[in-house]
Structure 1
Amino acid sequence: MTKSELIAALMQKHPHLQLKDINLIVNTVFDSISTSLADNNRVELRGFGAFSIKERDPRIGRNPKTGEQVQVSKKYIPFFKTGKDLHARINKARKA
């Protein structure tokens, strides 16, 4: 689901809200999550999952075009771990 599809789904569920209000809500939620992660804070949405930052150590990589070895510096990546309820719901849907 894309961001625009999410907005469209919310508009269908809540026809009393205007498009600009739904856009503001979605953007505020995403911005809040992004800001928290940038500040090295964990974001937990009970029943859905948790967003956190993981550190990747420096390593020697390979340029896929030339095959040449390159030094890849340490970096931080966003990580999402599903919550118990979401995990159960996904597995239940796959078994049906």
Structure 2
Amino acid sequence: MTKQELAKALAARAGLDSVAQGDKVIDVVLESIKDELAAGGTVPLRGFGTFSTSERKARTGRNPQTGEPLLIEARRVAKFSPGSELKKAASCHFGPDWLKFKDICLLAGDLRGKIESKIKNADQLGKDAKQYLYKAQAMYENVSEQIKKASDSSGKAWVDVKDGLGKAFGELKDAWEKAMKHF
């Protein structure tokens, strides 16, 4: 993935107005990490990993062309230690579909909250609630289809995804059914 592709994905997921804004966000984040490392600090990003620095001692190396020994000076180097979620994502072979599932889960959670708020405020039920219900139903059907496709893939990781999404969308379906009773 190039920086431009990352900026495009960021703009789409975060609802930014343009890819240029996504690019600017990336630049600010990277510059902030660089500044903190230059100051000798660390940047822990829970679940993703930790950026830090470490000291390398001076040592004797060899010139690859001549084979002569040469002194490599002591220096501070940047280091990254991946977090548990990143390790799992890298080792489970999910690929881009995993990111789509995570996005769908976030959207479903947001939609579920909106539906539940409409149920609690019965006087506000009406056109908005119906829209949320139709979106929830379409999303549930779409995700059910995607879960079925994922479960057809091999590997324990997909079973975990299926179980997690099945639970999340079961809750979404319950919220949808409660809301439908109000109509």
TM class by shorter-chain length? 0.7 to 0.9
Higher helix share: 2
**Mean alpha-carbon deviation: is it higher for 46-55 or for 3-12?**
3-12
Question: CA 1:39 to 1:68, structure 2 compared with 1: closer, same or farther past 3 Å?
Answer: same
Deviations 1:6-50 (A, max 9, x none): 113224435652233212111000000000000000001100000
What's the offset of the Cα at 1:84?
1.1
**Mean alpha-carbon deviation: is it higher for 34-43 or for 11-20?**
11-20
User: How many pairs are equivalent?
Assistant: 96
2: distance between equivalents of 1:71 and 1:40? 25
**AA partner of residue 45 (structure 1):** L
2: distance between equivalents of 1:55 and 1:16? 39
**AA partner of residue 9 (structure 1):** A
Provide the residue aligned with 1:51 in structure 2. Answer: 51
Provide the residue aligned with 1:89 in structure 2. Answer: 89
Higher strand share: 1
Higher relative CO (CA 8 A, sep ≥ 6), structure 1 or 2?
A: 1
1: distance between equivalents of 2:50 and 2:43? 6
**AA partner of residue 30 (structure 1):** L
3-state SS, counterpart of residue 67 of structure 1: coil
Question: CA 1:84 to 1:57, structure 2 compared with 1: closer, same or farther past 3 Å?
Answer: same
1: distance between equivalents of 2:68 and 2:75? 21
Instruction: Say if 2:23 is the partner of 1:29.
Output: no
Unaligned runs of 5+ in 1: none
Deviations 1:32-78 (A, max 9, x none): 00000000000011000001101110000111111111100001111
2: distance between equivalents of 1:8 and 1:16? 9
TM-score by length of 1: 0.86
Unaligned runs of 5+ in 2: 95-153, 156-183
TM-score by length of 2: 0.48
Identity between Structure 1 and Structure 2 (%): 34
